[in-house]
Amino acid sequence: MAWTDKRPMSPHLQIYKLPMTAVLSVLHRGTGAALGVGGLLIVWILARAAGGEDDFAAANWVLSSLLGKLVLFGFTAALYYHFCNGIRHLLWDIGWGLDLKTSKHSGQAVLGVSLSLTALTWLVAL
């Protein structure tokens, strides 16, 4: 059933500061969802390339323009974050690092490694 109760809800996000691990969890879901747009973009670029040189002109513009490069940068940053945190999830699945302290440290490592991978990729690209 749809939510029909009109009484106000107790505020939480506007009041409590989320722990770092919680923010990383939300970010994992957020980047995961947002990466779908990137996937769509990649399929579009591939379809254009399959269509021939003329069709590819629009895709080439996307890949070469400043706006396009910014979008791609955001895409790789989201991708690497989701990638590194995904590995952290897999490690949790085999039971490693589930305590709070290790979780915080692995979370910081995820942030560090994903930023490094993003920087490294763009160093190679440009």
Partner 1 sequence: MSTTQMRTPLSRAKGWGSAKSGTHHFWVQRLTGIALIPLTLWFCFGLASLPSMAYSDFTAWVGSPFNSVMLILTLMAVFYHYALGLQVIIEDYVSDHAVRTAAIIASHFVCIILGVVGVFSVIRISLGVAG
* Contact residues for partner 1, defined by CB under 8 A: 1-3, 29, 32-33, 35-36, 39-40, 42-43, 46-47, 49-50, 53, 56, 60, 63-64, 76, 79-80, 83, 86-87, 89-90, 93, 117, 121-122, 124-125
Nearer to partner 1, 50 or 67 (CB): 50
State the nearest-atom distance from the C-beta of 64 to partner 1, in Å.
5
State the nearest-atom distance from the C-beta of 79 to partner 1, in Å.
7
Half-sphere CA count of 111, side-chain side, radius 13 A: 11
Nearer to partner 1, 94 or 100 (CB): 94
Nearer to partner 1, 48 or 107 (CB): 48
97 touches 88 (CB < 8 A):
yes
- With a CB cutoff of 8 Å and minimum separation 6, the contacts of 62 are 41, 45, 68, 71
State the nearest-atom distance from the C-beta of 2 to partner 1, in Å.
5
- Is the backbone of residue 40 left (phi > 0), alpha (psi -120 to 50) or beta? alpha
How far is residue 63's CA from residue 76's CA, in Å, rounded to a whole number?
A: 13
